[in-house]
Structure 1
Amino acid sequence: MPAGPDWIHEIKHDGYRLIIQREGKRVRLFTRNGNDWSDRFPLITEAALRNRISSFVIDGEAVLLGVDGRSDFNGLHSRKHNDEVQFYAFDILAMQGEDLRPLPLHLRKNNLARLLARPVDGIFVSDFEQGEIGPDLFRHACMTGLEGLVSKHRERPYRGGRSPHWIKVKNRTHHSIDRVKEAFS
């Protein structure tokens, strides 16, 4: 877990990674594999349409919250609650036709905060902390039963795929680890 002052730490929700792409009155939701899930999560789609900016691309996670306020992957995977699934945005890739990916993460986060300044049910800015707090934050995430943290270097541009500047650390006691073990057994 990175501990330097140039790192931003975000909660790793147990959900589906999605890209929201809005162009005018059309909203599309894409998975990492390029599948179009636009009709799957109506709350997210409607929230994107209610934003005052009509052109943007944001990266985040589709999450179903359980009664305890934590993500409920089994409920999400069951597809029985698709109309309750919310989107936690952690990055913005484009806005009003401008490609923001070359900008440092901290500037993209500022743009994301401006885009989502007016709260709309269904899409939220994912909380984050900056600085040397990473290891302490990870210990707390584990104690409270969260899936883990993702740490990103604040000065880096957006890059798809794995990178030494984008580190995911999972809670080894979280139930999502069992799904990984089952997949490989």
Structure 2
Amino acid sequence: MRDIGCKARREILYGIIKPNSGIQFSEALPGDPKSIFYLADQAGLEGIVSKRADSPYRSGPTSNWLKTKSFIIDEFELLRVEREPGKAAFALLAEPGTRKYVGSAFVSVNREMRERLWKRVQEHAGPPPKDMPKRPATQWVKPGNQSPREALARRRRP
């Protein structure tokens, strides 16, 4: 089944997946990719996955499948940053001034910017909020206007 093209695999899977089985079969959307992405973005979806119709299934990264995410850019207050060796830093974000959680983001900036951000986070380090478990490699940020704020991208939430 792995060597069959995407279109033929979809036809086989469509015949196997039972309605109301808990597995959702996504419909193929033929057409202009820019128009499809625009509609997905306007609907508040995370993004789209584009696949070459004749591409065989391969695990891992491939140029035959392309994931295009919707993002917005805005300014958020940092609640917490997780930083583990070999992994991208991960930030929990809040609405500025309210500390209301709005989402999370991987901090995917260059090394200089990442180090600058980490230094600012450490300068404003604080304890975790009440009833929050301590997590390794996590730095919480004190509440208030003195907390570091950065323009960060976050995934749209439907």
TM-score normalised by the shorter chain: which range applies? 0.3 to 0.5
Structure showing greater radius of gyration is 2
The alignment's TM-score, normalised by the length of structure 1, stands at 0.40
